[in-house]
Every structure is written in structure tokens, then in C-alpha cells.
Amino acid sequence: MLTAEQLVTAVAASTDQLASRIAQLDDSEVRSRCTLQGWTRGHLLTHLARNADGLRLAILSVRSGEAIPMYSSRASRDADIDAGATRPARVIIDDFALSARAFATEVRLVTSDQWQSSTQLSTVTGRSTVPARLLLEMRLREVEIHHVDLGVGYDFSSAAATTVHSLIGYAAQRLSKQGPHHLILKATDTGHKYTVLPHTVTTHEHAAEAPASALLMYLTGRPVASAAFALPDPPPWG
């Protein structure tokens, strides 16, 4: 598990990688479809910007002790994404950069003790008490996974090894008990092993070995360019 300090560094590195790849996109490229059904790159980049805004408010909750909603409502969040997706490419790219910068500024104001505390997270699905560092994990997942979804030539092989390991651990835990398969996965480049548990009693296991980046592509339901393993389809990631 990454520490809060390591997560801050990982989020910054992932954000910089994404910003570099989208910097020269033109209007046509931003309006082109990404790999998420029904969305263009403009939709996805706007979503990432509004996610940064929402998580910035959640981090302000860590510092204030009061639950500040990430979004006023699901409907307003979705409307903001739809409206933002039609803007010129330069505006969308700058919006991503400015929202990420504001998020990073708020992050720097959180003390070490506050990162070790719990906070009230208020999302469109309700309110819950979570470890403060979870907010950093949430942002890291959003940036890394949606960087792949943009369809700009990025996959997890370009991510830091510690980031990939952290995301695989989360994905394996999330998918456990969601599907019928018992998966035993080994990363050939790091030696780490991961387990996905079935939701029913089963005696059949599927085992595979592959680079960690390929395992993460598989577990998150993203296409693996040259899979050296045969595994059943994972449960939908959503």
C-alpha cells in the first residue's frame, strides 16, 4: 500500500504524463470518440477536470472537518460533462491543467496527521467515512485508467511500477466475489502475485503469468495488445 506521500508523488507524475500526451490535440482529435462507449475525448477530459474539482472539495473536507459534496448532484455533474465536451480543444486542455493544478494546491495544504485521519466523503451515491488517503487513490485511478481510455497511445506499461502494483491490488480486491472465476495472477516482471476470488464456491482456478501492466489492462477490462495468457472475461469494470 502506497503512503500518502507516495500517492501525492504518483498522482503528480500520472497527471504530468497525461498532460504531455494531450497537449497538442486539435479540435478534431478532441471531438473523436475515445474508447468509452458514447463519449468523445472531450467528454473524458472534461470528466477528469470535474473529478479534480470534486476531489479538491473532498480534500477541503479533510482540512475543515465538514463534509463538502464533490458534486451538487449526479444530474449537474453529467450536464457539466456534456456541455464541456463541445468546447474548443485548447479550452478543454487548459481546463484539465487548471483543475489539476488547483487539486495539487489543495493537496499540499493537508498535513501528515490529516492524511492519517478519516474524513467524510460525500459523493452522488451518498456519504461515507473513509481514510483521507483514499482521495489520493481515487484520483490516481481516474487519471491512470482514463489515460488509457483516451486512446492516445498510452497503456500501463508507461506507468510507474509502484503505481501499477497499487492499481492491480485495488482491481483484484474490487473484482473479487463479482464473478465466477478464481484467478491466480503473477507479474513476470515484478514477481508479485495477485488473487481474484469467485463469488461462488468453485474448484476451478485460472492461472496466468504476464507483465504487471498487461495484468492491469486485463483486470480493468481494457484491451491487452499481445496477451500471453488466456483468461475468462473479467467482470465488467464500469
CB 12 within 8 A of CB 145: no
Is the pLDDT at 36 greater than 60? The verdict is: yes
- Decide which of 125, 154, 183 is a domain's last residue: 154
**How many domains does the structure of the chain reveal?**
2
135 and 201 both lie in a single domain = no
Model pLDDT for residues 76-100, shown as the tens digit of each residue: 999 999 999 999 999 999 999 999 9
pLDDT at 125: 84
CA distance 34 to 173: 27
Containing domain of residue 73, as a range? 4-154
CATH number at residue 62: 1.20.120.450
pTM of the entire structure? 0.94
The tens digit of pLDDT for each residue in 126-147 reads 888 999 999 999 999 999 999 9
Within the chain, residue ranges assigned H as helices are 4-22, 27-30, 41-64, 74-84, 89-108, 112-115, 134-149, 161-175, 212-219
